[in-house]
A and B are shown apart, each in its own frame.
Chain A
Amino acid sequence: MIGEDAVPRFGAGVKFRFDKVRDAWVLLAPERLFQPDEIAVEILKLIDGVHTISAIADTLAARFEAPRDLILADVVTLLQDMADKGVIRL
């Protein structure tokens, strides 16, 4: 399991961008496409190669006025899954 101090960044060749045709965020990777749900989009938007998982959870907990431990669990689950798929590096 990944730790709170890890700094997530997008893998080489991965692009996270807004698609005007779909009116939605898309995650583009080598020969693969992900259409993240709303929660995932909010997490992915905070990935900048600087902020830790802990900092991302703080930001989201404050923004959505939600319990931090629940948010943190969501963030860790998503990023672990994305890391296994080679989209996120930790």
Chain B
Amino acid sequence: MALLAELTHRCPLKCPYCSNPLELERASAEMATGDWLRVLDEAAALGILQIHFSGGEPMVRRDLPVLVRHAAGLGLYTNIITSGVLLTDEAMTALLDAGVDHIQLSFQDSDPANAERIGGYRGGHDKKLAAATRIKGAGLPLTTNFVIHSHNVDRVGEMIAMAEALGSARVEIAHAQYYGWGLRNRAALLPSRDQLDQATAVVEAARLRLKGIMIIDYVVPDYFAARPKACMGGWGNRFLNITPSGKVLPCHAAETMTDITFPSIRDHSLADIWATSDAFNRYRGTDWMPDLCRSCDRREIDWGGCRCQALALTGNAAATDPACAKSPDHFLMAQAVGESRPNAELVARG
């Protein structure tokens, strides 16, 4: 089980596919250090094994080393998901001293000018390269992350080479996910079928070449799939997300479901929320499924796909994910691909 702790929605970057919601939580709404320390205690007791400190940019929180130290003391595996632009020597030393296990560093492209255009942060690329050097210098395993879309997908080979040159133990080549900001910018971000196929071929060849040297995790876009992804490994099955203000969600995009009241960790225990809340039970298991999913032999493999995507594209969160070829709404995916306009303007996140 894993917990994604979104410590803040603040971020120096403005990526147009940001996984944060369109309505970002303000700094004044963020939980205090003490609240997060209690969350960590309760997470460990609940059986959470890994904690991902994320954001926004988690490093804008000055108490990050305090939280990492507390998590490490509880035996939690601590991971920081960062843009790296704030990872100075001092910050690296503090995190290492606190016992951080792993850092995932994002890059927006292998091409610096385009990377900085996408991230909306001038000078960011060099800072990220310096961050990679610091992470490696500290003896930590490095994961580099590239979100890919029509504006950079043709450079997947260069991205993998860059990850290798930086000494990454692992690289994530993740097609943008179309929720929140990504959905808003979908037409401008969706690659073509040809671009996807070429990127996939490059990844597969690199995997063979780099077996045992660097792991390549490849996340494909649902829009070209025949079967849906097992979103979050199933709703309320092995994943929790906590927003900066303390709302507990089964996935980071779940707040698009306006008919669900997501409980706050300020009012309830994590164990209670996990076991008994409507939010976590609404789409848990297989009972909620439409007949199409419940009668499918893949029902406990893909769990009906993604509820947020079903809602965003069909208006019904309890529908089969349109990514599934069996869904009556599957045509919506091809339609979106047909409507993609690579030259459309990107709306930077707020």
Contact = CB atoms under 8 A, between A and B. Distances in A.
Interface of A: 11-13, 15, 17, 19, 21-22, 26, 28, 30-31, 33, 83-86
B212 A30 contact: no
Contacts of B75: 17, 19
Given A28-B77, A30-B101, A86-B170, 5 more contacts: A12-B169, A19-B49, A31-B52, A33-B49, A86-B212
A40 to B, nearest CB: 17
Given A15-B77, A15-B101, A86 B169 contact: yes
B49 A30 contact: no
B79 A31 contact: yes
A19 B47 contact: yes
B102 interface: yes
B8 interface: no
Contacts of A86: 169-170, 212, 214-215
Contact of A22 (B47, B50, B211): B47
Interface string B100-141: 011010000000000000000000000000000000000111
Interface string B156-171: 0000000000000110
Task: List the 4 closest A-B pairs by CB distance, nearest first.
Answer: A13-B141, A21-B47, A12-B141, A30-B102
A84 to B, nearest CB: 6
Nearest to A88: B212
A17 to B, nearest CB: 7
The bracket for how many chain B residues form the interface is 20 to 34
B49 A85 contact: no
Contacts of B52: 31
B169 A26 contact: no
Contacts of B214: 86
A64 B47 CA distance: 32
Nearest to A35: B49
B143 interface: yes
B47 A30 contact: no
B169 A13 contact: yes
Given A13-B102, A13-B169, A85-B215, A26 B49 contact: yes
A63 to B, nearest CB: 28
B21 to A, nearest CB: 22
Nearest to B46: A21
A49 B50 CA distance: 25
